[in-house]
């Protein structure tokens, strides 16, 4: 019979997430994960597997938290506004300026194992899918290009997180969000896209 774990798995999983989020994949060593979790490297490996698997679990945890934060009962352009206001709020509330784990990992993607690269692509597609779903709820002007609009929104969301991590003033983040929201509202039928 296996021994019960002598640690709180949820707390350790959160510590692993915070480590990767704050430092990135490449700069987060097993020694550092051991330090922040209080577990010896062997215990970490036994509980969570490889460093790659720990990152994957941390990433999945992060994406679930992100999806929960931007999930809304609003529809269409109101949902887009809610999402962008939430992204700005999350960014401004991040006193450590960690940015977004997904976006932070993109520059490291080529150095990541292929399964983690695929995980990042799925993360981006998940975010894109949320935006597509809300754009599809809007009756757009005939000349509007929904895919281009979604790409613009995704780029704006990424910009907000990168600007926030880089220390740009709150006004800049709000201006990017306002621009994205305005673009959507202008593409609605009868608003001249």
- Indicate the domain borders of the chain: 1-61, 71-193
Q: Where are the alpha helices (DSSP H) in the chain?
A: 9-23, 30-37, 41-48, 51-70, 76-93, 101-105, 114-135, 146-165, 170-187
The architecture of the domain spanning 1-61 is: Orthogonal Bundle (1.10)
The pLDDT tens digits for 29-86 are 999 999 999 999 999 999 999 999 999 999 999 999 999 999 999 999 999 999 999 9
The pLDDT tens digits for 101-135 are 999 999 999 989 999 999 999 999 999 999 999 99
The architecture of the domain spanning 71-193 is: Orthogonal Bundle (1.10)
Q: Which residues contact 150 (CB under 8 A, 6 or more apart)?
A: 128, 131, 132, 135
Prediction pTM value: 0.89
Contact present, 134 and 83 (Cβ < 8 Å): yes
């Amino acid at each position: 019979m296996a021994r019960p774990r002598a640690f709180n798995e949820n707390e350790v999983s959160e510590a692993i997430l915070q480590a990767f989020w704050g430092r990135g994949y490449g700069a987060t060593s097993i020694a550092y994960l051991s330090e922040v979790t209080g577990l010896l490297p062997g215990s970490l490996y036994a509980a969570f597997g490889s460093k790659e698997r720990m990152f994957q679990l941390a990433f999945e945890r992060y994406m679930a938290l992100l999806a929960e934060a931007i999930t809304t009962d609003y529809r269409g352009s109101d949902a887009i506004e809610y999402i962008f206001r939430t992204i700005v709020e999350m960014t401004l509330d991040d006193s450590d300026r960690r940015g977004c784990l997904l976006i932070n990992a993109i520059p490291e993607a080529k150095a990541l194992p292929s399964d983690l690269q695929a995980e990042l692509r799925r993360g981006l597609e998940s975010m894109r899918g949320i935006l597509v779903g809300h754009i599809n709820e809007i009756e757009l002007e005939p000349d509007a290009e929904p895919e281009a609009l979604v790409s613009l929104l995704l780029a704006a969301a990424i910009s907000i997180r990168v600007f926030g991590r880089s220390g740009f003033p709150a006004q800049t983040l709000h201006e990017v969000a306002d621009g994205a929201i305005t673009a959507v509202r202008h593409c609605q039928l009868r608003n001249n896209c």
